[in-house]
Structure 1
Amino acid sequence: MPETPEHPTHHIDFSSVLAAAVHDMKNSLSLLIQSIEQLSEVIDAADNQANAQVASVHYEATRLNTSLVQLLSLYRTQLDTLPVTVEQCFIADLLEDVMGAVRLYKQHKNVSVSVQCDDDLSWYLDSELVYMLINDAIINALRYGKQHIQVSAFVEHDELVIKVEDDGEGYPLHMLKQSQTRMAEFTLSQGRTGLGIFFARLIASAHTRGQKKGRIILSNGGLYSGSVFEVKIP
């Protein structure tokens, strides 16, 4: 039907509808994750099968929630509205919060995770965005690591460095290449793995000071001869 004053044509912005749906799904998943965590507290610690199932469901729900958060944030960047709220943050507290969030998956994988960070280390950053970035990095380390993971935070060359090292097989070549690709040329064809790298780079680069931008560095080797994930924030 042609557009007339009596019958205006309404164009539905599908991307906005999708963003609203993603936001609603994310909220529902957050409630589901809370319920799973509450369930884990009442299960008999000796029931290994039940605890393993709960940990597996918690991991998958958390993974989906992370992906939805990433998609929603990417949509907002298309509107130039990625919210970045820079405030003073104590890094040890941030890492403690992340470790609390991955507690069930860590127990299920039976991996030793050490955290090296001075209690008085603080930095100006968006704690929610950096939390999501580090949470995803640690989840990946838990997934691919074998026995040991180290998370460390320190200041080097006037930048905050947060590093996650594991004893897995290391990053595949295509991930190492993607971490160095210019953002404008970045492709998401690698699925969720590609999205995770893109999202991490987006968060890091949103933190600026003068002419310096935050960045991520992926490499192999490090403390355990496995994957090394670094985020550097000026």
Structure 2
Amino acid sequence: MSTNNHDTPVEFQEAQSIDFSMVLASAVHDMKNSLGMLLNSLDELRQEQGQLIGESSRFNTLQYEAERMHNDLVQLLGIYRLGENNLSAHIEEHFVPDFLSEHMARHTPLLEGLGIGLEIEADDENGFFDEDLLTGVLNNTINNAIRYTSTRIKLTASEQQGFLVIGVEDDGDGYPESMQHSGTPGFKSLDFKSGSTSLGLFFASSVAQLHGDGDRTGSIRLHNGGSLGGGVFEIWLP
């Protein structure tokens, strides 16, 4: 028995016209919020149970992986909004040492549980940037540094060549040569087959480019060395 378009239920025809990317974005947004609530609960549990929880490798792994997934979802939403031309930077003035101290406070419980030291070396500078977007970049970068460092992570900030340069350093083995670069990786260069898509770097470079001053725009730089001898991530903001 054959069918034609006239036999297709109206509900099915409407379903076919759904913007699937919007459905995915909505689902990702819900998952991000749920993971945010889970992370808050884990923080509260760590405070309630104190040393008993803090020294549990399974609990620390659970919190680390939940944080990593939360960061990934934040980036996916940002990239979706970027593709929809709906992502912009709301630039405001911030005192950089205070901004970085807030990040250190957020990550300190997990880092202490993992036996990783975190320090700040920041000039007394005011910076002009979108706090939420830069928070997303730093959360992902710190989470990545946790994975590859040996014992220490350092947040840095300084003025260089008329740019505010915020860095995340670690004392691990550093970035492989293929990842060390300056500038912005293109979306078409991301390799989804290898399992290492560098979406975090694409998101970070996109955020940097949203910060501009005249003919100058932000960028990211990856190299090895720094004061800890490992990997160094830098975001340069005009």
Match of 2:149 in 1: 145
The one-letter code matched in structure 1 to 2:19 is D
CA contact (8 A) 1:188 1:195 kept: no
Secondary structure in structure 2 of the residue aligned to 1:37: helix
Give the corresponding residue for 2:45: 39
TM-score, normalization by structure 2 = 0.88
CA contact (8 A) 2:88 2:210 kept: no
Question: What's 2:90 paired with?
Answer: 85
1:216 is aligned, of 173, 196, 220, to 220
Q: Write the distance in 1 (CA, Å) between the matches of 2:196 and 2:96.
A: 27
In structure 1, the partner of 2:33 is: 27
Question: How much has 1:104 moved relative to structure 2?
Answer: 2.6
Q: Which amino acid aligns with 2:108?
A: R
TM-score (norm 1): 0.89
| Change beyond 3 A, Cα 1:154–1:133 | same
Given that residues 117 and 154 in structure 1 are in contact (C-alpha distance below 8 angstroms), is that contact kept between their aligned partners in structure 2? yes
Corresponding residue to 2:22 among 9, 16, 20: 16
* Shift, 1:186, TM fit: 2.6
Residues 96, 157 of structure 2: 8 Å contact kept: yes
Q: Report if aligned partners of 1:186, 1:198 keep a CA contact under 8 Å in 2.
A: no
The one-letter amino acid paired with 1:136 is N
Q: 1:55 aligns with which of 51, 56, 60?
A: 60
Please tell me whether residue 2 in structure 1 is matched to residue 5 in structure 2: yes
Structure 1: 5+ residue stretches without partners:
none
In the alignment of these two chains, the number of paired residues is 230
Equivalent residues in 2 for 1:155-170, closer than 5 Å: 155-170=159-174
Deviation at 1:12, TM superposition (A): 1.1
Q: Note the C-alpha offset of 1:149.
A: 2.2
Q: Is the 8 A contact 1:165 1:226 kept in 2?
A: yes
Query: Residues 105-129 of structure 1: CA distance to partner in whole angstroms, max 9, x if unpaired?
Result: 21122122220124x4211110111
Aligned partner of residue 173 in structure 2, secondary structure: coil
Shift of 1:130: 0.6
Query: Which runs of structure 2 are paired with 1:119-130 in the superposition (5 Å)?
Result: 120-130=124-134
**Residues 60-109 of structure 1: per-residue CA shift (max 9 Å, x gap):** 11110100011111111111001321111121222122112212321122
Does the CA-based 8 Å contact 1:171-1:219 persist in structure 2?
Answer: yes
Q: Given the alignment of the two structures, is residue 226 of structure 1 paired with residue 235 of structure 2, yes or no?
A: no
Query: What is the RMSD of the two structures over their aligned residues, measured on CA atoms?
Result: 2.2
Stretches of structure 2 lacking an aligned partner (at least 5 in a row): none
Indicate the SS of the match to 1:102.
helix
Are the structure 2 counterparts of residues 56 and 40 from structure 1 closer, same or farther at C-alpha, using a change threshold of 3 Å? same
Is the counterpart of residue 201 in structure 1 residue 205 in structure 2?
yes
